[in-house]
Amino acid sequence: MSSPPRRAAWRKGLAPYLLSSPAGLWLLLLFIVPLLIMLSITLKTCSPASGQCVMTWNWGELPHVVNLYRTQFVTSLIFAAVATIIDLVISFPIAYWIAFYGGRRKNFFLIMLLVPFFVSFIIRTLVWEFILSNNGVVLTFLKGNHLLPSGFHVLGTGFAVVAGLAYNYLPFTALPLYVALERIDRRVLNAAYDLYANRRVAFMRVILPLTVPGIFAAFLLTFIPAFGDYVNQEILGGTANTMIGTVIQNLFLIDSDYAGGASLSAVLLVISLLGIWLYAKLLGSRTIEEYL
Amino acid sequence: MDEGRYARRIQYEMTDGQVNTVNHSDGPTGDAGTDGAKVNVRLEHVTKTFDDVPAVDDLNLKINEGEFFSLLGPSGCGKTTTLRMIGGFEEPTSGRIMLGGRDVTYMAPYHRDVNTVFQSYALFPHLDVFENIAFGLRRRKVDKAEVRRRVGAILEVVDLPDFERRRVNQLSGGQQQRIALARALVNEPKLLLLDEPMSALDAKLRHQMQIELKSIQSRVGITFLYVTHDQEEAMTMSDRLVVMRQGRIEGIGSPKDVYDNPSTEFVATFLGASNLLTGEVARRDGSVTTIDLTNGSTLSVPTSRLPDQLTSTTVKVGVRPEKISIVAANATVGPNQNSLRGRVRVSTFTGVGNQYLVEMASGADITVYAQNIGEELAPRSGDEVLLSWPVEHTFAVRPMESGLSGEESES
């Protein structure tokens, strides 16, 4: 019995929900539901033989896996942290140079930075394996010139894994840094020079503080995926220095220990969320959206 | 900023902290400007070209100590480039810039005793009001108690006490402007540069700030160099001003001098409005020169107000719209008055007065402003009228070369 104007108003109120429903359904079905399923598995007991899981409200699996794979957690933490720091150190000058001195060719330089990453993740990592292998160009050359002992190898070491991680996640560091540096108002920099700051002081007192949100965003965007990464460790790390991502993959696909794998994933998720929470706490949630 | 811009400034950086020892001038010149005042800023043959296009063309200028001086001109006239060269953000292609008797032509901005209020304010977004203002003092290693005292004092001057801990993005445009002014003034520079600081404010606030800025300037006694394209703003505040066009000075003097006695056709039209009529110099009778207009009328101009170097006898005779009285066509005109006849084409009431467009027999329009002093019989459209004004308010300028309208874009 609603009159036409009321019906129109009702439709108008509904419009935002209708418009966002495809994306909402997508998120619900393909993200929220699987996430809830995974979280529920952490509390189930599964039979490795049949793959059947029964809800037993077993909260014990979470501390159990953390305890059992503590070494892998620590290894992942160190590898991801070192790779992220290497990326920050490499990216900052590049991003700074493009943002401040790229001139009209800024986009060209950015594309040059990204071109290697148009190649598939796996292929890129395999190429790293090829480069770092015992018969690869680098080691053959160095050993041939007696710069390294003949028994020296890189593949299968933590160094190779960190190098692979740093290489693969470089754009995730460089781009947020670039965005942060690019948006610094050059007039503010002129104001610093005007107020007796030389170039070094202007960098330390103006550019760097204004880049902090970008540095933090770059850190999160690099550290979180690197922390859970298993491809680099699988291809470049051999059997040594197992990372937590490899453990999760093995638990799911080889050992069929779904509860264990799900529990480890849940712990990883919590650690990542802690990082984002810390960012929002320190720098405000608004700035996250600007960089992610 | 260009990389390598500071290459030539290395010599200054070597003596970091004792800039005063670097002195390329011939010592204190002690030269006197107008009225015997001390010269604070001196530009000598300063030229700046961008890709071979001159933005500033052989500029010579003296600014006295304690003066409120304005650079006025349309966009692209070179006023901002001039300011940036004095501030140290651009280097002249040639010429010298002297500040307080010292050559600062190639000195880095952070070594100059000059501060700037930027057009966009350029406050530091990551610092609060206190730290913004203290930025320059901290760089100069002023001790903490002194920083606190001076920031507090300058906030009183700009009338924003208790704003110390505000974040700059919480401030209104007018407040940001005062903070930008405080941030520059707190350093007590020899010279304060202001780059169109009012352009982002609305008209009412702008009027208020003009008066306030002028009063702050006379209180602190610092030389202000103000850049603007707004002629009213420049006239309201300046002790002296220059009108610039295409990188050159077109007119210089006190606002009254430049307004009442414009030196070129450009100044006559850019600074306020002018009625300009083309004519030929006919004869000189002592202090008065007679000019025959192309429309057949004759006007008298004080000989002293003819352009200095006349290359031809063709001149443009001018009179300001507010100097003209508009009376009925049958009225008589007193001695020492110029007069013209015409018919009112448009009459507009503006509140403070009436604006008339009066059409001459030749078809040219003359603009007249009459103040609203309660006269009962204002002329209406179609009325035949007589326009008259004192000979002493008549001026003559050389006609501007054609192609003048091509203004370069602002760099």
The model's pLDDT over B176-200, given as tens digits with 9 standing for 90+, comes to 999 999 999 999 999 999 999 988 8
Chain A contact for B110 (CB, 8 A cutoff): yes
Q: Supply angle C-alpha A260, A264, A269, rounded to 5.
A: 145
Across the interface, whether the CB atoms of A196 and B123 are under 8 A apart is answered no
**Has residue B207 been placed in a domain?**
yes
**Chain B residues inside the 8 Å CB shell of A101:** 3
Interface touch B109/A191, C-beta < 8 Å: no
Residues 157-186 of A with CB under 8 A from B: 185-186
**A191 or B314, which is more confident:** A191
Domains in chain B, number: 2
Using the predicted structure, report yes or no on whether residue B84 has a pLDDT greater than 60: yes
Q: Which amino acid appears at position B86 of this protein?
A: I
Shared-domain flag, residues B254 and B280: no
How many residue pairs from chains A and B have C-beta atoms closer than 8 A?
71
Which of A 40-79 lie inside 8 A of B, CB atoms?
A: none
Please check whether residue B87 touches A, CB under 8 A. yes
Task: For residue B309, name the pLDDT band (cuts at 50, 70, 90).
Answer: low
Last residue of a domain, one of B232, B259, B286: B259
Torsion angles phi and psi, residue B275, rounded to 5:
-95, 125
- Nearest chain B residue to A213 by CA distance is B126
CA distance B19 to B52: 33
pLDDT band at B13 (very low <50, low <70, confident <90, very high): very low
User: Residues B234, B270: contact at Cβ < 8 Å?
Assistant: no
Q: Does B17 lie in the same domain as B94?
A: yes
- Percent of chain A exceeding pLDDT 90 equals 45
- The overall average pLDDT reported for chain A is 87
DSSP lists the bridge partners of residue B292 as B280, B298
Instruction: For chain B, give the percent of residues with pLDDT over 90.
Output: 52
Q: What is the CATH number of the domain that holds B39?
A: 3.40.50.300
Do B100 and B30 sit in the same domain of this protein? Answer: yes
DSSP state of A157: S
Claim to verify: residue B369 and residue B330 sit in the same structural domain: yes
* B171 domain-assigned: no
**Tokens in use for A237?**
């790390």
In a domain, B151, yes or no: no
Whether residue B36 is found in the same domain as residue B71: yes
Average pLDDT, chain B: 84
The tens digit of pLDDT for each residue in B356-371 reads 999 988 888 999 998 8
Q: Is residue B337 part of a domain?
A: yes
pLDDT band at A143 (very low <50, low <70, confident <90, very high): confident
Which of A3-18 are b and which e, b meaning 16 or more Cβ less than 10 Å from the residue's Cβ? eeeeeeeeeeeeeeee
Same-domain status, B243 and B314: no
Domain boundary at B202, B224, B259, which?
B259
Q: Indicate which of B10, B116, B151, B181 best probes the interface with A, i.e. most A CBs within 10 Å of its own CB.
A: B116
List pLDDT tens digits, range A178-210: 999 999 998 999 999 999 999 999 999 999 999
Q: Are B385 and B327 in contact (CB under 8 A)?
A: yes
| Cβ pair A38, A265 in contact under 8 A | yes
Give the C-alpha separation, B96 to B23, whole Å. Answer: 13
Taking the CA of residue A223 and the nearest CA in chain B, the distance in Å comes to: 26
B130 lies in a domain?
no
* Domain assignment of residue B58, yes or no: yes
pLDDT at B407 exceeding the cut of 50: no
**B18: pLDDT strictly greater than 60:** no
A186: nearest CA partner in chain B: B1
The average pLDDT across B16-39 equals: 46
The full 3-state SS of chain B, as one line of letters, equals CCCCCCHHHHHHHHCCCCHHHCCCCCCCCCCECHHHCEEEEEEEEEEEEECCEEEEEEEEEEEECCCEEEEECCCCCCHHHHHHHHHCCCCCCEEEEEECCEECCCCCHHHCCEEEECCCCCCCCCCEHHHHHHHHHHHCCCCHHHHHHHHHHHHHHCCCCCCCCCEHHHCCHHHHHHHHHHHHHCCCCCEEEEECCCCCCCHHHHHHHHHHHHHHHHHHCCEEEEEECCHHHHHHHCCEEEEEECCEEEEEECHHHHHHCCCCHHHHHHCCCCEEEEEEEEEEECCEEEEEECCCCEEEEEHHHCCCCCCCCEEEEEECHHHCEEEECCCCCCCCEEEEEEEEEEEEECCCEEEEEEECCCCCEEEEEEECCCCCCCCCCCCEEEEEEEHHHCEEECCCCCCCCCCCCCC
Check residue A3 and give its pLDDT: 57
Q: Which domain holds residue B220?
A: 7-113+189-259
Instruction: Report yes or no on B42 lying in a domain.
Output: yes
Does the pLDDT at position B12 exceed 50? Answer: no
Q: How far is CA B182 from the centre of its chain?
A: 22
pLDDT at position B321:
93
Per-residue pLDDT at B202: 85
Chain length of chain A: 292
- For A55-86, write each residue's pLDDT tens digit: 888 888 888 888 999 999 899 999 999 999 99
> What pLDDT is recorded for position A241?
79
* Domains of chain A as residue ranges with CATH: 61-291 (1.10.3720.10)
B219 and B93 both lie in a single domain: yes
Cβ within 8 Å of A, B 210-239: none
> pTM value?
0.77
Residue B411: per-residue pLDDT:
33
Closest CA to B351 of B326, B335, B371: B371
Give mean pLDDT, residues A152-175.
Answer: 91
State the pLDDT confidence band at A13, using cuts at 50, 70 and 90.
confident
Which contiguous run of DSSP H or E holds residue A61?
A: helix A61-68
Please report the pLDDT score of residue B29 as a whole number. 42
Segment B252-277 shows an average pLDDT of 91
Tell me the nearest-neighbour CA distance from B285 into chain A, angstroms: 57
Residue A198 has what pLDDT? 93
B210/B351 same-domain check: no
Sorted by sequence, the CB contacts under 8 Å of residue A183 that are 6+ apart come out as: none
Together in a domain, B304 and B392 = yes
For residue B35, pLDDT beyond 90: no
Tokens of B68: 């409120």
Question: Do B234 and B360 fall within a single domain?
Answer: no
Residue B307 maps to which CATH number? 2.40.50.140
- Same domain? B341 vs B230: no
What residues in B contact A287, CB-CB < 8 Å? none
Q: Which of B1, B120, B136 sits opposite A195 (nearest CB)?
A: B136
For A83-132, the pLDDT digits (tens) are 999 999 999 999 999 999 988 999 999 999 999 889 999 999 999 888 88
| Cβ neighbours of A198 in B, within 8 Å | 13, 16, 108, 110
In B, which residues are within 8 Å of A98 by CB distance?
A: none
Phi, psi at residue B358, to the nearest 5°? -110, 125
Is residue B301, in this structure, part of any structural domain at all?
yes
- Average pLDDT of B115-136? 93
Contact B135 A188 (CB under 8 A): no
- Chosen domain end from B234, B259, B284: B259
Cβ pair B168, A191 in contact under 8 A: no
Residues B193, B68 share a domain? yes
